[in-house]
A and B are shown apart, each in its own frame.
Chain A
Amino acid sequence: GIQVEQSPPDLILQEGANSTLRCNFSDSVNNLQWFHQNPWGQLINLFYIPSGTKQNGRLSATTVATERYSLLYISSSQTTDSGVYFCAVELSGGSYIPTFGRGTSLIVHP
């Protein structure tokens, strides 16, 4: 099956810092989503981005499908950004099995 690797596994920041999270995948994909899992366990959609670049406030994401990676940028981080960030991909070619990476755990200190 498809392999999804996220880096770094852990990240600790001071409030106001910027960060880049990476998601590498081993095969061509139809779908790619970024999620934030808050400390209460709720998975929140950040971006649906199988290709290209999107921005939403302090967050932006870029997927380069031909090179099999996606990046999530967090600017001017806040304590509420703490949690685990997951990317999830769906293999192209008819296999409808969403596969998640192991996530990046982010802690933002005040």
Chain B
Amino acid sequence: EAGVAQSPRYKIIEKRQSVAFWCNPISGHATLYWYQQILGQGPKLLIQFQNNGVVDDSQLPKDRFSAERLKGVDSTLKIQPAKLEDSAVYLCASSPLMARGEQYFGPGTRLTVT
């Protein structure tokens, strides 16, 4: 079974530029999560989808971050415009069940904003 795929693996941009990350979850997994992990900290949930609907986005900075999951499969996370403090690893995870499911993580995208 293929794991969670993410791209790109690394991205360097200047502040005020925009960037997009892509995630393909494990086949059949209904729930998809995007996390931000700042160096030295645990991952922080940004947004959670169940199929193509948003379950929770209370911790997503909506003035600059947006995410979508068209057709309930792949998802993209966008930052526009980026700030220096957005430098982090962005992790995607998927789960076969909401609330009682196990999460499986992709390799992450390391973003550096200069």
**Is A100 engaged at the interface, CB distance under 8 Å to the other chain?**
yes
B-contact 0/1 string along A42-59, CB 8 Å cutoff: 111100101000000000
How far apart sit A30 and B45, CA to CA, in the bound complex (Å)?
A: 17
Q: Which of B33, B58, B104, B110 contacts A98 (CB 8 A)?
A: B33
How far apart sit A40 and B9, CA to CA, in the bound complex (Å)?
A: 11
**Is A68 engaged at the interface, CB distance under 8 Å to the other chain?**
no
How far apart sit A44 and B106, CA to CA, in the bound complex (Å)?
A: 9
Known contacts: A41-B89, A42-B107, A45-B104. The answer to whether A100 contacts B99 by CB under 8 A is no
A33 cross-chain contacts in B, Cβ below 8 A: 102-103
Q: Which of A45, A90, A100 contacts B42 (CB 8 A)?
A: A100
Total A-B pairs, Cβ < 8 A: 56
Q: Which of B58, B100, B104, B108 contacts A41 (CB 8 A)?
A: B108
CB distance A41 to B110 under 8 Å? yes
B45 cross-chain contacts in A, Cβ below 8 A: 97-99
Question: Within residues 23 to 75 of chain A, which ones have a CB less than 8 A from any CB in chain B?
Answer: 30-31, 33, 35, 40-45, 48, 50
B107 cross-chain contacts in A, Cβ below 8 A: 40-42
**13 extra interchain contacts, Cβ-Cβ under 8 A, other than A96-B55, A97-B59?**
A31-B99, A31-B100, A33-B103, A41-B108, A42-B108, A43-B91, A45-B102, A90-B99, A96-B56, A98-B33, A98-B45, A98-B103, A103-B41
Q: Which residues of B contact A (CB under 8 A)?
A: 33, 40-45, 48, 55-56, 58-59, 89, 91, 93, 98-105, 107-108, 110
